[in-house]
Structure 1
């Protein structure tokens, strides 16, 4: 199982070196978007709203918009330093509470905790103490440049850290529109509803619940694939000026050769008269 965070967690004077592993996985089926005309994948580019040109990753900086159109630019070096300063701190359990006191709306994401080298005994101690006291620990931890509030509890003999939202991250229920303020139901209606709930009440068995939509979508995809109901993306022809190397070299040599001048016609020999001596 992939380790996504290393550090230590403490309660009192007990320090436990740990590793975090993601406890859940997203099994959503990812669908690509294609151009209907040629079935080629659609490319999404980062384009400047003013220059109207594509921006390369090295040309992008991060900033906080403190008012409309005005930003505070943050250097990557400063952000990295701040992140390291907080991530390298030992995670301390600051409170112990009953899990029933935490509404499920606060829960965000779950991570399995495993002991790092030399942390086995302290890990077992915390696990046993949480089981016996029937409490969970509340701690703070920095994950991916964000300080998270977290619950530490026992799940199937393994310590689990579950990040939870801060109170100001949970929207007020009072702001939800059109919620009736009073219960306008009759006793007969209420009794019938409670009877129906009693009839449908059972022990929670998560294994019996499946993602029927995902299953049906996978079956649809497979049936189309088996029936050859598929398309092939068009490919873009890339212009190339590459020619045969030897031909290019030979052409270069031929172009730089000195031109031969036309040979002059051979001169005719003239007979010379020998004067006889008298």
Structure 2
């Protein structure tokens, strides 16, 4: 399993060297965007909105827009130094709380924790203590340049770190529009609804739930592939300068051609002058 973070976590005087591994994966089917005319992939390029130039990675800097159109530019070295300073710190469990006190709306991502070299015994101690106390540890950690609030809990036989949102990252439910202020339901309607809930109540078994849309989409893709309903991207023609060269040569020839009217004028024979011979009278 790929290690995406290394460090240590501590509670009290106990320090545990650990590794984090992503516990979940996104199984969305990624669809490419093609040009309908030639079935070639569409490119999305980074272009300056003013210069209209295509930008390379070295041309781009990060900045914070503190007011419309005005920015504070942050150098990569500054960001890296700040990140390094915080990431090097050991993650400390600052509080222990009951898990049921944390509403699921706060949950973000899950990571498996494994002990790093020499951390096996301390890892086992924390796992056993969390099980016995039925508590979870609350800590702070920096992952991917963002400080996260996190809880440490036991899942099956493994310690799991769940990153959770800070309170100011959770929007107020009072801002949700059109929510009824009071429950205007009759006793009979409520009893019927509770009866329906009781009939559908079961033990949670995650294996029984599947992504029906993803399954259907994969079946559709496979049926089209086996039925030869496929397309091939048009190959890009090699770039040559022949056409441009010929056009340039022709333009040069056209520029050096004399004007047609002047050519005709030059080809006309010169008109002869009439010669008048005077005859002298004899005496």
- Equivalent residue, structure 2, for 1:73: 73
Q: Deviations over 1:173-212 (max 9, x none)?
A: 0000010101111111110000000000000000100000
Listed as ranges, the gaps of 5+ residues in structure 1 are 242-278
SS in 2 for 1:46: coil
Q: Give, in whole Å, the separation in 1 of the partners of 2:239 and 2:223.
A: 38
The reply to whether residue 196 of structure 1 matches residue 205 of structure 2 is no
The reply to whether residue 183 of structure 1 matches residue 183 of structure 2 is yes
SS in 1 for 2:41: coil
Q: Deviations over 1:115-174 (max 9, x none)?
A: 000000000000000000000000000001110000100001100000000000000000
- Equivalent residue, structure 2, for 1:64: 64
> For residues 1-278 of structure 1, what are the structure 2 equivalents within 5 Å?
1-240=1-240
- Structure 1 residue 88, shift from structure 2 partner: 0.4
Q: Deviations over 1:5-34 (max 9, x none)?
A: 000000000000000000000100000000
Q: Give, in whole Å, the separation in 1 of the partners of 2:100 and 2:239.
A: 66
Q: Give, in whole Å, the separation in 1 of the partners of 2:239 and 2:175.
A: 59
- Equivalent residue, structure 1, for 2:269: none
Q: Give, in whole Å, the separation in 2 of the partners of 1:146 and 1:138.
A: 17
- Structure 1 residue 240, shift from structure 2 partner: 4.5
Listed as ranges, the gaps of 5+ residues in structure 2 are 242-283
Q: Give, in whole Å, the separation in 2 of the partners of 1:81 and 1:238.
A: 45
- Structure 1 residue 80, shift from structure 2 partner: 0.3
TM-score (norm 1): 0.86
Q: Give, in whole Å, the separation in 2 of the partners of 1:11 and 1:95.
A: 9
TM-score (norm 2): 0.85
- Structure 1 residue 235, shift from structure 2 partner: 1.2
Number of residue pairs the alignment of both structures matches: 242
- CA RMSD after TM alignment: 1.0
Q: Give, in whole Å, the separation in 1 of the partners of 2:123 and 2:7.
A: 13
Q: Deviations over 1:55-104 (max 9, x none)?
A: 11110000000000000000000000000000000000000000000000
- Structure 1 residue 239, shift from structure 2 partner: 2.1
Q: Give, in whole Å, the separation in 2 of the partners of 1:240 and 1:130.
A: 69
Q: Give, in whole Å, the separation in 1 of the partners of 2:155 and 2:50.
A: 52
